[in-house]
Amino acid sequence: MRLHRIEAGTGPALVILHGLMGAARNWAGMVQTLSEGRRVVALDLPNHGASPWSETMDYPFLAAQVAEAIGDLGGRAAVLGHSMGGKAAMVLALTRPELVERLVVADIAPVAYTHTFAPYVRAMRAVPLGQVSRRAEVEAQLAARIPDPRVRAFLMQNLENGETGYRWRPNLAVLNAAMDDILAFPALREASRYEGPTLFLAGADSDYVLPDHLPQIHRLFPAARLESIPGAGHWLHADQPAAFTAALRRFLAE
């Protein structure tokens, strides 16, 4: 499977993996910002953006697809993953550590969650796209189920208008069916460790990375350190882009 990508710059590779219902284009500004002295590549993960669809949607599968992409880039890269992309990045580092020069995990931990996008996926699937003629109609129907305008705006980035009318870019049926796998963190062999440099970036206003998660983080990633970004929630790169970028630059320059 060849994953769709956007990229900029030359030099050592940095691969960026988006979260659930995200896409590489959400990171386009960050790709340009970080591209001085690096080849920065943001990927559309399977069943997202312009990448191919698949009936499989678990973290070993995602990690394997990212491993192939890193092979295309020369076989070794720094990897940054946010949320679902962060779990894929962690599984990649734990199973193919030789591919990961250093690891950044943005606002997620190697644990199972009860936070779920399932209601959002159901709301998107419930919109009768064949009966709408304007984007505003789609958003109005989403508003009945998703009151948060910021969440709606994020989801609406996945709507496109083609020759046959509106469609959702992600594979909503598979994402809905795979939600338990997406919320979980896979059981790996007992000896799995990633010894390389690792940075966990957490939003200070988010509840995705908690003190209770630290023992598991340090068990799997012995060299990990945790930084919290004030004023940031789960979408920390959008909430505080300057602080997020500064933390990344410091870590990548070490």
Q: Tell me the three state secondary structure of residue 217.
A: helix
pLDDT of residue 116: 87
Query: Which segments of 109-177 are extended strands (E)?
Result: 159-162, 165-168
What are the residue ranges in the chain where pLDDT is below 50?
none
pLDDT of residue 163: 84
Could you tell me which of 15, 59, 9, 60 has the C-alpha nearest to residue 32? 9
Beta bridge partners of 226: 200
What structural domains and CATH numbers belong to the chain?
A: 5-112+184-252 (3.40.50.1820), 118-177 (no CATH)
pLDDT of residue 188: 87
pLDDT of residue 230: 97
pLDDT of residue 15: 98
Q: Which two tokens stand for residue 121?
A: 């996926």
pLDDT of residue 162: 83
Could you tell me which of 231, 239, 247 has the C-alpha nearest to residue 105? 247
Q: Which two tokens stand for residue 30?
A: 């960050």
